[in-house]
């Protein structure tokens, strides 16, 4: 699972460099996220602008990552493609996660 990270004060930005998060790679995604989040503190912003497909296993992996952060840290999502956004909307996970339509201004040149 290819991820690119950038640490800022109180924010870890993670860009997913894959076009799918599905049953074939969901565990790998979760494990890789655990690795990159271990040394960071504060909120985590997951840039999913390259992800074109997300199945129930992928959604479960994203939720598992949120739970790994615990109650004091937040997982935010950015750049959801229409297909992926539809999965979050249909499952009502869009009410659980803070979803940015695009990357926040401070990260546009970074990722």
| The pLDDT of residue 107 | 63
**Residue 109 pLDDT > 70, yes or no?**
no
| The pLDDT of residue 111 | 46
| The pLDDT of residue 46 | 97
**Residue 88 pLDDT > 90, yes or no?**
yes
Confidence of residue 8 (pLDDT cuts 50, 70, 90): confident
Q: Could you confirm whether domain 3-107 is CATH 3.40.190.10?
A: no
Per-residue DSSP letters for 11-58? EEEEEE--SEESTTTHHHHHHHHHHHHHT--SEEEEE-TT--EE-HHH
**Residue 104 pLDDT > 70, yes or no?**
no
The whole-number average pLDDT for the span 54-82 is 95
Which of the two residues, 110 and 73, has the higher pLDDT score? 73
């Amino acid at each position: 699972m290819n991820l690119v990270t950038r640490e800022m004060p109180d924010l870890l930005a993670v860009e997913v460099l894959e076009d799918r998060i599905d049953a074939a790679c969901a565990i790998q995604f979760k494990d890789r996220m655990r690795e990159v989040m271990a040394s960071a503190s504060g909120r985590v912003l997951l840039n999913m602008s390259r992800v074109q497909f997300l199945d129930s296993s992928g959604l479960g992996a994203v939720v598992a990552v949120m739970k790994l952060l615990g109650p004091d840290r937040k997982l935010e999502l950015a750049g959801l493609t229409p297909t992926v956004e539809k999965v979050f909307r249909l499952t009502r996970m869009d009410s659980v996660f803070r979803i940015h339509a695009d990357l926040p201004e401070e990260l546009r040149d970074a990722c």
